[in-house]
Amino acid sequence: MSNSKEGWLKIKLHNHTKWHRRFCIIDWDKAVLFTASKADTRYSDWIQLLSTITINDFEYSFHNESNNNLTNTTIEIVADNGRAAHYLQAETKKDCDSWLLALKQAAYSRVGGGIFGQSLEDTYRYSRDKNSLVPLIVRQCCDYLLEHGLTFVDNTSRPLTIIGAEVSVRKMEKYPSRKGFANKFGKSLSSLKSSMSKALQSNTSSNKNEVQTIDSSPLPSNQQIPRKSFDSQSSKQLQNDVDILKELLNKKESLLMELTKKYHEECLKFDEEKFQLNQIIQQYKNENIQLKKQLNTQ
């Protein structure tokens, strides 16, 4: 196995109730964590390090009865959409940080080097968890897309200026961007109807049958042309709005991917710096121990 990390860890898989000491090895090429009871034996279990898993480190100890063995040297791997949780425990905090960095690199290096690599829906669902480590920027982007992604219309939308039939007005009232125009058009149409009814009522005394014939007669062919023109232009405008919405959604999706990628890179950089700082701290501790020994001997 090329480019691998190996060593002894205590492991409790999701289908196990007890901890077991296992020899573990990470294969970067296959993105798999193999485990075995001995270093020179065949590997019996493995954990697939997919980009959809979530890897957490425990910065504090759990004191409840079910998790009293989880310390700050424990790593949690959440897989299968949160239905399975595996636990790895190292000897020291230094080893824990080293394994944590290696696991993240193996799982997420193929999707930009970050810490998520999962769908927007899974990221949003995980961000609602009170114990999640999802950053504020990702949570806000998810909230914005879910709230405005399907209803947002930008300033390029133009209101229609062609007056048509009542059926088209009722269709337009379903769209918020044209609600004002539909209301104005409805008022104009009602005032036009009242004017026509008053004009017709002045002639009802002379010939009622003629008035009824006028009211029930179909529209002339020259008045049917604007209706067809209105329907055609309304359909084109609706298609234009749909295209604009698709373009906006694509832009928001690309922006979210870019922000997520940057965050992934920053988290990976932070983990590396944290690992280096822990090494320096451990070095200072060792030097301090040696100095104390020298003072005691003197």
Residues 144-192 pLDDT 10s: 777 666 554 444 443 333 333 333 333 433 444 434 434 444 444 455 4
Clarify whether residues 99 and 186 are in a common domain.
no
Is 147 inside any structural domain? no
Q: Which CATH number covers residue 38?
A: 2.30.29.30
Clarify whether residues 107 and 194 are in a common domain.
no
Is 58 inside any structural domain? yes
Clarify whether residues 106 and 172 are in a common domain.
no
Clarify whether residues 6 and 104 are in a common domain.
yes
If one compares 123 and 108, the residue with the highest pLDDT of the two is 108
Which residues, 6 or more positions from 181, have their beta carbon under 8 angstroms from its beta carbon?
A: 159, 160, 172
Is 29 inside any structural domain? yes
Is 139 inside any structural domain? no
- The DSSP string of 138-192 is HHHHHHHHHHHTTT---TT---------HHHHHHHTTSGGGHHHHHHHHHHHHHH
pLDDT band at 264 (very low <50, low <70, confident <90, very high): confident
Which residues, 6 or more positions from 263, have their beta carbon under 8 angstroms from its beta carbon?
A: 114, 115, 135, 137, 138
Is 135 inside any structural domain? no
pLDDT of residue 7: 92
pTM as predicted: 0.38
Clarify whether residues 1 and 105 are in a common domain.
yes
Is 118 inside any structural domain? no
Candidate ranges 53-67, 92-106, 121-135, 205-219; pick with highest mean pLDDT: 92-106
In percent, the amount of the chain with pLDDT more than 90 equals 7
| Average of per-residue pLDDT across 66-88 | 80
pLDDT of residue 32: 87
Q: How many CB atoms lie within 10 A of CB 27?
A: 19
Clarify whether residues 98 and 178 are in a common domain.
no
86, 111, 136 - which closes a domain: 111
pLDDT of residue 158: 39
Q: How many CB atoms lie within 10 A of CB 49?
A: 25
Q: Which residues pair with 84 in a beta bridge?
A: 79
Clarify whether residues 31 and 96 are in a common domain.
yes
Is 260 inside any structural domain? no
111, 128, 158 - which closes a domain: 111
Which residues, 6 or more positions from 295, have their beta carbon under 8 angstroms from its beta carbon?
A: none
Is 30 inside any structural domain? yes
Domain count, the chain: 2
Using a 10 angstrom Cβ sphere, with 0-12 exposed, 13-18 middle and 19 or more buried, the burial of residue 193 is exposed
Clarify whether residues 25 and 105 are in a common domain.
yes
Q: Which long-range contacts (CB under 8 A, 24 or more apart) does 177-181 make?
A: 177/153, 177/241
Clarify whether residues 24 and 102 are in a common domain.
yes
pLDDT of residue 136: 61
> Which residue range(s) make up the domain with 11?
1-111
3-state DSSP call for residue 14?
A: coil
111, 134, 151 - which closes a domain: 111
